[in-house]
């Protein structure tokens, strides 16, 4: 990566050397750097394992270096070999260190002769943190087993031995074998017409960080949505998914008009089962997406806007560490809003921006000071924990502020230049800010000071003068909510027949944390929220109704928790239950049923909620 002159960085007074070492990786990129990965793996559904070889092409930086250090987690390493000229193969000694709960096991390979390539023969374990293996019964169609990966943040090391840090980018190719009839997909260019013959090859010619390495295999069908896009899903889901995402080409074109050409050739979407722990994962060429956005009216397709936006902010220009993840998520959330506005209109974009900002305001009050910063101290949080609403929504809010101060046309030109300048590089916050000082702050003097930028980036909370969009429908909802709560407006008189998903989310989000039971019962009688198929509305409804003491919703809430493994839509309901002894006991019973279908990340999160509730009974999680 290329950094700007130290004089530009000085305005932000944080030396790059302070963040040179990734605290979440054992890798030593100043000694040796992986430049290319060649995978040759077999998919074994019976053993719930990937097995084969990973060959790493190496660029040795230190002529005196005695060893290569890699990140692994729970991998079964069979052997390590150096590959020499003319096909010569020689064994290399290696050691696996004791396991660290956060980082896994450091793999140290003795390599004093600095081979250009090292081949590692290995297998994964069924409990690999970055893989989920679903039985046929746990899939939508219940016909064929399915496997998918989730490498972000530091879970790629659980299925490939590598340098698992976002600062290190590499190209890759892969040969994957699987049972006949199974389709294999990766974060590379995929062929929708590939025969299901059990033999797949992939090529990713652009350098990517390890967290964007992805694989999936199962009974997957495909529908083309345009000349460079397609939707993959189980056969029973694929038609619904293709309809929901039929505007994908429009979204790509809208983003290109704003920020320059799409660099990745194809943009496909894989819709996974409900156990997928995130809304979406921006794997290059192949977004992995939750089925919870398939509500039939495109009201939640901003998820595609978000994951597509990552093709510029995150995949093209990448945060160099998890401390800097707001460079991915904050920029992407801002770009998401611009795409949504271009394709679906300003009202929807403003509603989504205000919804996120209000939720962030409410959440900040409960966060530690360090967690409120766009650049938190990296050793104070786990890598997975860096992905908070602050990174997404405070980061986006900052960029909206810049747009307001400098003007949309000027800020658009700046962002387009930023993406082009740092294309296929991993950078840190200080590098971005140095570029901003030269190309925005200094170029348009008097619009925003360095001190104001520092406050946004390095201080907790949100500046008081942070701009917010005005949304008339939300103002009306605020008035109706107030009248409903004070008893001057009945639930059946709410003007909710025309509310879209975002408007229901806003109404529910701004209810009291523990609303009066009678009000929740009145609301349910009028609008039948219990049992809603819309998971965004359901999560908010159940969390509030449980907090109000409405046991009539418990069974439906339990069904919601068993049906959905997406962290954001499931853990708030678990937290609501865990606030009381009876609720905790009920939630533990639900979890016992749901656990086999949950992703390891979801399991870890739910078990953490239970542990906290038992350690501090009577306190909300």
Provide the annotated active-site residues.
Answer: 307, 392
Taking alpha carbons only, the member of 540, 531, 541 closest to residue 563 is: 531
Instruction: Map residue 550 onto helix, strand or coil.
Output: coil
Count CB neighbours of 261 within 10 A: 9
Q: Tokens 């590598």 label which residue?
A: 162
Instruction: Map residue 25 onto helix, strand or coil.
Output: coil
425 contacts 318 by C-beta, under 8 angstroms? yes
Which 8-state DSSP code applies to residue 597? G
Could you give the angle at the alpha carbon of 509 between the alpha carbons of 506 and 512, nearest 5°? Answer: 130
Q: Where does 437-530 have alpha helices with state H?
A: 450-458, 472-486, 501-509, 517-527
Q: What is the dihedral of CA 491, 496, 500, 506, to 10 degrees?
A: -40
Strand positions, DSSP E, 303-404: 317-319
318 contacts 312 by C-beta, under 8 angstroms? no
Taking alpha carbons only, the member of 159, 134, 165 closest to residue 234 is: 134
Count CB neighbours of 562 within 10 A: 17
Could you give the angle at the alpha carbon of 275 between the alpha carbons of 361 and 585, nearest 5°? Answer: 75
Taking alpha carbons only, the member of 276, 176, 245 closest to residue 217 is: 176
**Size of the chain in residues:** 621
């Amino acid at each position: 990566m290329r950094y700007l002159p130290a004089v530009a960085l000085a305005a932000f007074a944080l030396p790059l050397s302070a963040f040179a070492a990734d605290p979440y990786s054992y890798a030593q990129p100043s000694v040796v750097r992986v430049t290319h990965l060649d995978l040759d793996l077999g998919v074994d559904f019976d053993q719930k394992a990937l097995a084969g070889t990973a060959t790493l092409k190496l660029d040795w930086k230190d002529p005196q270096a005695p060893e290569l250090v890699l990140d692994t987690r729970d991998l079964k390493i069979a052997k390590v070999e150096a590959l020499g000229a003319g096909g010569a193969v020689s064994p290399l000694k290696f050691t696996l260190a004791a396991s660290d709960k956060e980082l896994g096991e450091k793999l140290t390979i003795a390599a004093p002769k600095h081979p250009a390539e090292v081949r590692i023969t290995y297998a994964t374990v069924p409990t690999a943190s970055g893989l989920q293996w679903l039985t046929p019964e746990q899939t939508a169609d219940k016909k064929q087993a399915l496997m998918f990966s989730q490498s972000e943040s530091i879970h790629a090391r659980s299925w490939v031995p590598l340098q698992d840090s976002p600062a290190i980018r590499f190209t890759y190719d892969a040969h994957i074998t699987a049972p006949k009839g199974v389709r294999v997909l990766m974060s590379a260019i995929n062929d929708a017409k590939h025969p299901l013959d059990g033999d797949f090859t992939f090529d990713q010619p652009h350098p990517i960080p390890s967290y964007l390495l992805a694989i999936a295999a199962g009974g997957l069908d495909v529908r083309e949505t345009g000349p460079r896009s397609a939707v993959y899903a189980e056969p029973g889901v694929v038609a619904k998914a293709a309809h929901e995402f039929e505007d994908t080409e429009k979204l790509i074109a809208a983003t290109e008009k704003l920020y320059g050409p799409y660099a990745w050739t194809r943009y496909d979407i894989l819709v996974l089962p409900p156990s997928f722990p995130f809304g979406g994962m921006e794997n290059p060429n192949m977004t992995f997406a939750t089925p919870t956005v398939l509500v039939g009216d495109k009201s939640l397709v901003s998820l595609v806007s978000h994951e597509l936006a990552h093709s510029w902010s995150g995949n093209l220009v990448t945060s160099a560490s998890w401390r800097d993840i707001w460079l991915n998520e904050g920029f992407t959330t801002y770009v998401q809003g611009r795409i949504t506005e271009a394709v679906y209109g300003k009202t929807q974009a403003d509603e989504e921006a205000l919804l996120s900002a209000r939720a962030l305001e409410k959440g900040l009050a409960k966060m530690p000071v360090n967690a409120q910063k766009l650049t938190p101290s990296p050793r104070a949080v786990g890598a997975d924990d860096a992905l908070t609403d602050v990174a997404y929504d405070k980061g986006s809010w900052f960029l909206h502020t810049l747009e307001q101060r400098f003007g949309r046309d000027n800020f658009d030109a700046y962002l387009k230049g930023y993406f082009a300048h740092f294309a296929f590089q991993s950078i840190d916050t200080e590098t971005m800010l140095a570029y901003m000082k030269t190309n925005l702050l200094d170029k348009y003097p008097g619009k925003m000071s360095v001190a104001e930028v520092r406050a946004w980036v390095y201080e907790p909370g949100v500046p008081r003068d942070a701009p917010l969009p005005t949304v008339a429908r939300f103002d009306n909802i605020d008035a109706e909510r107030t009248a409903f709560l004070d008893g001057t407006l009945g639930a059946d008189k709410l003007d909710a027949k025309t509310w879209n998903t975002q408007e229901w989310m806003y109404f529910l989000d701004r209810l009291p944390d523990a609303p009066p039971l009678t009000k929740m019962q009145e609301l349910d009688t009028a609008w039948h929220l219990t049992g809603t198929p819309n998971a965004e509305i359901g999560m908010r409804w159940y969390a509030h109704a449980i907090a109000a003491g409405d046991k009539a919703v418990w069974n439906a809430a339990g069904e919601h928790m068993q049906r959905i493994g997406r962290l954001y839509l499931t853990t708030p309901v678990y937290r609501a239950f865990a606030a009381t002894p009876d609720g905790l006991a009920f939630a533990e019973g639900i979890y016992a049923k749901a656990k086999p279908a949950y992703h390891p990340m979801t399991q870890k999160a739910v078990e953490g909620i239970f542990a906290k509730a038992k350690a501090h009974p009577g306190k909300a999680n």
